Amino acid sequence: MLELLKNPAYLKLWCAQIISELGDGITFIVVMFLVSEQSSHPAVFSFILMAGYLPHLLLGVWAGPVIDRFSKKWIMVSSDLYRLLILLLMIPFHDSVVMLVTLTFLQGIGTVFFEPARTAAIPTIIEEEQIPKAVGLSQSTFTTMRVLAPSIGGALLLLDQVSWVFAIDSATFLVSGILLMTIKMSGTVHKEGEEKDSYLESLKGGLLEVKHNMFLKGILTLMVVTAFVMSIVGATIFDVILNVFEVQELHFGMLESTEGVFGIIGALLIPYFMKKMKSNQLLLIVIGATGVITIAIAPVYHVHQVIPFAPLYIWMAFVGLSSTCLNVPLNSFIMQVIPNDVLGRVSGLMNTLLNAGFLVGLTCGGGLASLVGGIPTVIAGGSLLILVSLIFPFTSYYQALHIEKDRQAFASA
């Protein structure tokens, strides 16, 4: 992975990711905690998560052609500066749940453009055989920030300096934008013939790519179903930790850090399994294992009554491990299979469908938690994940998910 950092363009992109995700992680923890302080209703956490997903659902498909037709660098820079302004607005409204939900939605609009642009930029500045390494490094970075950010956020909460938290995060977007401005991305310029395509023709090209690619249809089906189920869990997990387990600020931050540490371990381990196992088998095994881990919240809660916190930390460790073991293969496979010239459009479409699954799942999860409680809802989500892992091999898409390219790339890395 260190070879990637010898590439000046990738090094700057990676540093921008570090800075931006550190600020994002701090803000997410603080917003969730602020919401828990102002309302104990389980559905309020769903509202915050839904506010982040809704822009992807509404704008994801339409953002794709913009990303493929214009400079990815300047799209990322503009998105950073836009999100900086939104975060500054959170300072005077940090004590209003309605405004936090609204501003989270507005911030998500910037992310709709930033993340697909960043994904589409990576293959243009590195060699194809380096993509699995790049994805692994990106995921390791993401989980590392999840280790650092909650600890910093928890410490800042103890100091009761919420305004400073948002100000610090705003500064991270500024630094990230400045770094991105200095990147040279010659690969972001497309062929003249493609540039002449109209916006709608460009959008149609991305949709056709998905329609005629069996792998993409298969992985989209699996991802949307999994996203729906995972968001049922996500809708209630913060309510369970903060209100059912009654975790306070410091432990909340440390639990998130524990998840992040084992996420890093997962990101380091999963490339080995990607070389040894078929891609379709690996994905379903990880999904099934995640379901088993999720269901384990029930015995964890009972043991927690006798031995406080220790079982919850162990559970969060396995949650972090399973999360990256799913994310790294998915991102690697997608970036290797999708042609670079339509990567932005396809990524935008995928984000739209994924977030549709997330939103439906969050709605169902929040409603179910209100009826039966947080822990039963988490157990229901875990059970559905196991069901998905058992049923999907009998679908017509299962064999399409078996690709050789991923193993070849890792073998040559």
Residue-level pLDDT at 409 = 42
Read off the pLDDT of residues 11-38 as tens digits, 9 standing for 90 and up.
888 888 888 878 777 777 788 778 877 8
Q: Rounded to an integer, what distance in angstroms lies between the CA atom of residue 357 and that of residue 359?
A: 6
Q: What is the mean pLDDT of residues 75-90?
A: 91
CA distance 206 to 347: 9
Mean pLDDT (the chain, rounded):
79
CB distance 53 to 108 below 8 Å: yes
Q: What is the CATH number of the domain that holds 323?
A: 1.20.1250.20
Provide the domain count of the chain: 1
pLDDT (tens digit per residue) in 311-334: 999 998 998 888 777 777 777 777
pLDDT computed for residue 223 by the predictor? 83
- For residue 314 the two structure tokens come to 């162990």
Per residue, the 3-state secondary structure of 27-46, as one string, reads HHHHHHHHHHHHCCCCHHHH
Task: Give the pLDDT confidence score for residue 413 in this predicted structure.
Answer: 40
Euclidean distance between the first and the last CA atom of the chain, given in angstroms as a whole number? 9
Amino acid letter, residue 327: N
Least confident interval from 41-55, 140-154, 288-302: 140-154
Task: Show the domain range for 254.
Answer: 4-412
Helix boundaries (H) for 159-277: 162-181, 192-195, 199-211, 214-239, 249-276
In this prediction, residue 351 carries a pLDDT of 74
Q: Do 205 and 345 form a contact (C-beta atoms < 8 A)?
A: yes
How far apart, in whole angstroms, are the C-alpha atoms of residue 299 and residue 362? 24
**Res 292: pLDDT:** 95
Local confidence band at 192 (pLDDT 50, 70, 90 cut-offs): very low
Residue 381 burial (10 A CB sphere; 0-12, 13-18, 19+): buried
Q: What is the mean pLDDT of residues 298-321?
A: 91
Question: Highest-confidence range of 89-103, 240-254, 263-277, by mean pLDDT?
Answer: 89-103
- C-alpha distances (whole Å) from 311 to each of 238, 239, 255, 301, 376 are 17, 18, 11, 8, 18
Q: Please give the helix or strand (H or E) that residue 108 lies within, else none.
A: helix 97-125
What pLDDT is attached to residue 81? 92
